Structure 1
Amino acid sequence: MSSSPVDGPPTTEAVPPQTADNANPFASNSIPDRVVTGGPEWWRRSFAYMTNMGMSPEERAQFEADRGLKREQEQCVQCEKWRDYNLRYSSSSPLFQKFQSTDTPRTHIGPIVRFLTENIEKIRSDTVSSDIIRCLPCNKFQSGGFSPSYGILLCQNRLLSRKHTEDTLAHEMIHMFDHLRFDVDWMDLRHHACSEIRASSLSGECRWTRESFGRGVWDFTRHHQGCVRRRATLSVRGHPKCKDDVHAAKVVNQVFDSCFTDTRPFDEIYR
């Protein structure tokens, strides 16, 4: 199992399966009527909450809970929109077939997701679809995760933009490719570190503009290698078998050179 760090330590949390019994609780058809915004009752409650007039402590607590539920529902809708945009133009993906439109210029399409989809589907018995890429809220500081049992997780409350979603999706799809293409033991720290190095290097999350303007790291020399090493170490640090920061850095250093130069399925570092 693997996860993509945002700016803090990630976790290696499994992605829960989404079945009829535990479908996304933030889907629009599962939100209580009292949470629906735009109606007079919602605005009455909002005004009463802001002015601290006409609301009992219990009603204030309920409004805060409803407001949080509404926020999570909005995050889920946005996450699924960004996910579907990246998937709908990804070669043979079912969403590509369903939503393909001439209204969207081809220059706006993220080719990295399309390329990874094609290569995963060459070795996977089924197509890559939204059924194995789920948007859910995350309690830990991560933007996504991968589980061999359940698929890819997109953390709906951590994604900042469609581009950030593309980078996160690409990162987790590289983990999926590694799992399908190689004999990966995710409980082996060296295996985990190698896949994290490859995912950080090839997904685009360590490009200079993301590092500089997104994270404030203004390193003009070997910034890519430094970013890959730092983010891989953060991910390995969250592994249950990792003892501490020193242990994580040691494991990453042991496999860095060979894994950093392995760019499969790309011919070279994509961006």
Structure 2
Amino acid sequence: MAESTDSERKPTPSAPAAAAQAQPDASFYNWSSFFSILSGQASQEDKQKYFLSRDLANEESDIKRVEKQRDWLFQNSPVIRFLRDEINKLGGDINPINVRCRRCTTAQGGGIDQDYGILICANHMRNQGHVEDTIAHEMVHAYDYLRFKVDRWNLRHQACTEIRASTLSGECRFTREFFTRGQWRFTQQLQECVRRRATLSLMARPSVKDDVHAARIVNEVWDSCFNDTRPFDEIYR
């Protein structure tokens, strides 16, 4: 959100049991709280209560909206259709049935598990373009798991697939960075975005000590992974 960080974690249920039992005060989801957040007057605790209340109130409509967008993309998106075909060639299949849309309580846009499939965090999706980028990101991971036998516990492997997913999904194209994330660089914009997002994703892993450790691992595999555009002939978007 802030921009959601995509990661290779096992998808979690829409909300832990404890969160489901402790329903937030619905009074936090109102215009007063919204403007307090906009003006910078809300505390971090109040922000969390507001966003949780909003996500709970909109859970059903968010999921239906993103499921409709997902289904349309599998029919009409060139990048999603191409990646699905390439994954099929390797003996896998990513389809609307195993791309599940749920409410997430963590700050991620999506995730993938080799047995479960892809999770899309419906409450974090801004629009159809964001859904497309997120599905494409996770599909690059799926391709890598099948094509390169990625070890989920090997940090260099994980850094490489994060670099490739951010490069090839389209989430780091100039317009996305410029209009959505307020990144104003004109030179090396793509590389800076990919490095930043790959480092953030790597930091979510328990065995990564800090941002310096994550950045070092990303740098170690950067040249070979950034320049590897398979299954595309070149960076598509």
Q: Within 1, Cα distance between the matches of 2:55 and 2:190?
A: 38
The residue number in structure 2 matching 1:212 is 178
* 1:242 aligned counterpart, secondary structure: coil
Shift of 1:71: 1.1
Q: 1:11 to 1:267 in 2, by over 3 A?
A: closer
The residue number in structure 1 matching 2:84 is 117
Q: Within 2, Cα distance between the matches of 1:213 and 1:68?
A: 24
The residue number in structure 1 matching 2:43 is none
Q: Within 2, Cα distance between the matches of 1:213 and 1:124?
A: 38
Alignment of 1:166-185 (within 5 A): 166-185=132-151
Q: 1:6 to 1:82 in 2, by over 3 A?
A: farther
Aligned: 1:15 with 2:11: yes
The residue number in structure 2 matching 1:193 is 159
Shift of 1:132: 1.1
The residue number in structure 1 matching 2:66 is 79
Q: Deviations over 1:7-59 (max 9, x none)?
A: 26555531259xxxxxx89xxxxxxxxxxxxxxxxxxxxxxx99xxxxxxxxx
**Which residue, 190, 194, 201 being the options, matches 1:224?**
190
The residue number in structure 2 matching 1:160 is 126
Q: Could you list the runs of 5+ residues in structure 2 that have no partner in the other structure?
A: 16-29, 32-51
Q: Is the 8 A contact 2:138 2:165 kept in 1?
A: yes
The TM-score normalised by the length of structure 2 is 0.79
Q: How many residues align?
A: 204
Shift of 1:73: 0.6
Q: Within 2, Cα distance between the matches of 1:189 and 1:227?
A: 20
Shift of 1:128: 2.7
Q: Is the 8 A contact 2:94 2:117 kept in 1?
A: no
Q: Within 1, Cα distance between the matches of 2:138 and 2:53?
A: 32
Q: Within 1, Cα distance between the matches of 2:132 and 2:53?
A: 30
Amino acid at match of 1:188: N
Stretches (4+) displaced over 3 A: 8-13, 65-70
Alignment of 1:216-255 (within 5 A): 216-255=182-221
Q: Could you list the runs of 5+ residues in structure 1 that have no partner in the other structure?
A: 18-23, 26-48, 51-64, 90-108
**Which residue, 156, 166, 169 being the options, matches 1:203?**
169
Aligned residues with identical type, % of pairs: 50
Amino acid at match of 1:117: R
The TM-score normalised by the length of structure 1 is 0.70
Decide which structure has the larger Cα Rg and report it. Answer: 1
Q: Deviations over 1:143-176 (max 9, x none)?
A: 1111112110100100000111000000000000
The residue number in structure 1 matching 2:113 is 147
Q: Within 2, Cα distance between the matches of 1:8 and 1:122?
A: 30
